[in-house]
Amino acid sequence: MSSTDPTSPTQPTHADNSPDAAAPSGREDGGDDSREIADALAAVCDTMRQSCRKFMVAENVPRVIAVSKRQPVARVRAALEAGHRLFGENLVQEAEERWTPLKADCGDVELHLIGGLQTNKAARAVALFDCIQTLDRPKLARALRREMDKQNKALPLYIQVNTGAEPQKSGCLPADLPELLALSGALKLTVVGLMVIPPADEDPALHFALLKKLAERHGLTRLSMGMSGDYDVAAAMGATDVRVGTAIFGRRTS
- Using CB under 6 A, list all residues that contact ligand PLP: 67, 69, 90, 114-115, 197, 227-229, 243-247
Give least dist CB 83 to ligand PLP, A: 20
85 versus 243: smaller Cβ distance to ligand PLP:
243
23 versus 236: smaller Cβ distance to ligand PLP:
236
23 versus 155: smaller Cβ distance to ligand PLP:
155
Got the DSSP string for the chain? --TT-TTSS-----TTT-TTTTPPTT----HHHHHHHHHHHHHHHHHHHHHHHHTT--SPPPEEEEE-TT--HHHHHHHHHTT--EEEES-HHHHHHHHHHHHHH-TT-EEEE-S---GGGHHHHHHH-SEEEEE-SHHHHHHHHHHHHHHT---EEEEEB-TT--TTS-SB-GGGHHHHHHHHHHTT-EEEEEE----TTS-HHHHHHHHHHHHHHTT--EEE---TTTHHHHHHTT-SEEEESHHHH-S---
Give least dist CB 27 to ligand PLP, A: 27
Give least dist CB 25 to ligand PLP, A: 30
- Report the chain's terminal Cα–Cα distance, integer Å: 52
Give least dist CB 56 to ligand PLP, A: 26
90 versus 240: smaller Cβ distance to ligand PLP:
90
Give least dist CB 244 to ligand PLP, A: 5
83 versus 204: smaller Cβ distance to ligand PLP:
204
Give least dist CB 184 to ligand PLP, A: 20
23 versus 244: smaller Cβ distance to ligand PLP:
244
Give least dist CB 115 to ligand PLP, A: 6
Taking the mean position of all CA atoms in its chain, how far away is CA 117?
16
Q: Which residues contact 69 (CB under 8 A, 6 or more apart)?
A: 88, 89, 90, 91, 94, 95, 115, 245, 252
69 versus 212: smaller Cβ distance to ligand PLP:
69
Taking the mean position of all CA atoms in its chain, how far away is CA 240?
9
Q: Which residue is nearest to ligand PLP (CB)?
A: 245
